[in-house]
Structure formats: C-alpha cells, structure tokens
Homo-oligomer: A and B are copies of this chain.
Amino acid sequence: MAEIKKIGVFTSGGDAPGMNAAIRAVVRTALYHNLEVAGIRRGYEGMIAGDFMEMDRKSVANIIQRGGTMLKTARSDQFRTPEGRKVAYDKLKAEGIDALVAIGGDGTFTGARVFGAEYDMPIVGMPGTIDNDLQGTDFTIGYDTAINTVIDAVDKIRDTAESHDRLFIVEVMGRDSGLIALRTGIAAGAEAIIIPETKTDIEALCARLEHSRRDKSSKIVMVAESGEAGSAFEVGRQIKERFPHYDTRISILGHIQRGGRPSCMDRVLASRMGVAAVEALLNNHRDEMIGIIHNEIAYTQFDHAIKHHQEINPNFLKIVEILSL
C-alpha cells in the first residue's frame, strides 16, 4: 500500500451546518501529520472538472462558525458513469492526491463505494447531513443545528398560535425519515407527530385534537415532509374537512433548516470526526464512514452505512402521547 502524501477533501449532496467545521478539522489534522491537502470544489462534479484548491491553516481560519460549505456542493450525473469516474481519477492523480475524505450523505457514500472499488484511491467518509438517517453514527453533522432551527421557528409559530387559538400543521425536512419530526415534535410540545415510519390514523388524531381542545388554546401538529399521510397540505385538508370550525394554518419550514451557524455539538462532532477521518486513512482504513457511537469513534463500511437507516425509538412516540395529553 502506497504511502499517503496528499489528501483531497470535498463536500457533496445537500449542505449541512458543520460541514465547514469538518473541512477545517480535516485540513488541520492533515497538516499536523505533515500531509498536503487539496480542497475539491463542488463534490464529484468539481473532481471531474479538476476544480482543486491548495489548503493551508489560513484557508480554514474563521470558518468553524459558518453555515454552508466553503467548498460548495453539487450533484453530478457524470460521476454516475464509468467515463466520468475515469476522468475524476485522472484529475486526482494529476493533482497528486492519493486519498480522499468525503463529507456528505448516502448519495455521497454510494459514489465513494463505487469509486473505491474501481480505483486505487483510499476513501473515508464523514456523515454530513441534517437528516440523521445513516447507520453507523448516533448523530450526523448538521442534525443538531437543524432541530434547533426547527424549534426556534416553531416557538415563533406557537406565539401566533396561542394568540389566535389556532391549529398549526408544521412540515419539517427528513427525506422519508421522521427523525427530525420526532425530536422537534417532543421539544416543541407538539400535540401530534406524523412520520413515515408509522401508520397515521387521521381519525384517531382528530379525536385526540378534539379531546385536548377544552384545555388547550393552540395546537401544533408536526409532519415529516414525506409522511405517509401526505404532505402538510394534505393533512391540513383532512383535518379541515372534519373540523371546519378550527382556525387551521400550514407552515412549511423549508430551506432555513439547512443553514445557519452550527450548534456547539455539531462543531464538536465535526471536529472529532475530522481528526478521526485523517487518522483512519493513515491507519489504512478505507471505504468506511467515520461515526460516533456511544461517544466513541466507530467505523462502518459504506455499504452498511447507506443501507440501514436509523430506527425510530418507539419510546419517543409514547412520550409524545403522554406529554401532549
């Protein structure tokens, strides 16, 4: 196995708060171990285009607190083709890059897995996505910030809901996953949570809302964007049908959930994982995602990380039922 002398780092897929902290940690750890580092702009697309930038300590100064990703991110159709990957490999070699740190979600690691199987290019991954939907880590970089952004928004909506005795149906992100909806639903004191992992009984939900109506002036229903009961608009339509007398409003939180200064936990997570990613490469790990499980660094094959989504803790649903009583 050839010695690693120069690492390339890139972000790919949807951006997430803490990606900059992750880049900073990778760059500084590489320099600490006397490696060179190149930043690859716009993920796999930039790899194919040879869009590289040399990184030194100053390149990553004063970015730990910034949302988004300084290396930008993009989708790449070309990288899905063998020809695209060939070009990418040639560009990396021409640049002298002999190992990669990929920061992103399951699409990112799917690409990395294929690339790593085809070419002699050690790759490790760092989980950067607000969705928290990867196996092999308790938390992904960006999730903690996103759920804080959601409750900031819902706290504001609650002010209005309380003032007008309204029912709000709030839709949050989650790509077929209720993990954002579930924690934010508990934290926002939602009356109900609709997630794709469980069957939603709209009749039972309406009965619950009606029951609590005597005591509660405002109500929040939290909906994951791909909930099987349909989008927030569809849920709203069904509730309005049954309760035309409710003052019901819909709020789609949308893209604000991806941005913003990362939380303390996301910065620490990204820093720990970034150090571990570079050291993993030096210790001959490859095709693995770095995670933190029970507060210890964990290594999970890309294959495994992307196949198994995190499961919903059934106790959480019970907690919603008890506390929204």
Report A's interface with B, CB cutoff 8 A: 11, 15, 17, 19, 21, 24-25, 28-29, 31-32, 57-58, 61-62, 64-69, 72-74, 138, 144, 147-151, 153, 155-160, 162-165, 168, 183-184, 186-189, 215-217, 249, 251-252, 254-256, 258-261, 263-265, 267-268, 271-272, 275, 294-295, 313, 315-316, 318-319, 322-323, 325
Check A164/B264 contact, CB under 8 A, given A155-B259, A319-B271.
Answer: no
Report Cα–Cα, A219/B158, bound state, in Å. 28
Contacts of A319 in B (CB 8 A): 271-272, 275
Contacts of A73 in B (CB 8 A): 163-164
Check A144/B267 contact, CB under 8 A, given A66-B159, A155-B65, A156-B67.
Answer: no
Report Cα–Cα, A244/B294, bound state, in Å. 45
Most buried by B among A186, A261, A264, A265: A264
What is the distance, in angstroms, from A290's C-beta to the closest C-beta of chain B? Answer: 13
Question: Which residue of B has the minimal Cβ distance to A321?
Answer: B32
Contacts of A67 in B (CB 8 A): 156, 159-160
Flag if A61 contacts B144 (CB, 8 Å): no
Contacts of A61 in B (CB 8 A): 215-216
Report Cα–Cα, A268/B313, bound state, in Å. 13
Check A189/B155 contact, CB under 8 A, given A28-B322, A164-B73, A215-B58.
Answer: no
Report Cα–Cα, A217/B46, bound state, in Å. 15
Flag if A68 contacts B162 (CB, 8 Å): yes
Flag if A72 contacts B264 (CB, 8 Å): no
Question: Which residue of B has the minimal Cβ distance to A155?
Answer: B65
Flag if A275 contacts B322 (CB, 8 Å): yes
Flag if A187 contacts B64 (CB, 8 Å): yes
Contacts of A69 in B (CB 8 A): 163
Flag if B158 contacts A259 (CB, 8 Å): yes
Check A162/B72 contact, CB under 8 A, given A258-B156, A275-B319, A322-B275.
Answer: yes
Flag if B256 contacts A251 (CB, 8 Å): yes
Most buried by B among A61, A159, A271: A159
Report Cα–Cα, A260/B261, bound state, in Å. 12
Task: Specify which of B17, B189, B255, B316 is in contact with A168 (CB 8 Å cutoff).
Answer: B255
Question: Which residue of B has the minimal Cβ distance to A149?
Answer: B156
Task: Specify which of B251, B263, B313 is in contact with A254 (CB 8 Å cutoff).
Answer: B251
Query: What are 9 A-to-B residue pairs whose CB atoms are below 8 Å?
Result: A57-B325, A58-B215, A68-B160, A73-B164, A155-B259, A155-B261, A156-B258, A158-B259, A160-B258
Contacts of A138 in B (CB 8 A): 295
What is the distance, in angstroms, from A121's C-beta to the closest C-beta of chain B? Answer: 24
10 further interface pairs, Cβ-Cβ under 8 Å (given A15-B159, A271-B319): A15-B160, A28-B325, A67-B160, A147-B265, A151-B263, A155-B260, A156-B256, A160-B255, A183-B265, A265-B265
Most buried by B among A188, A215, A268, A295: A268
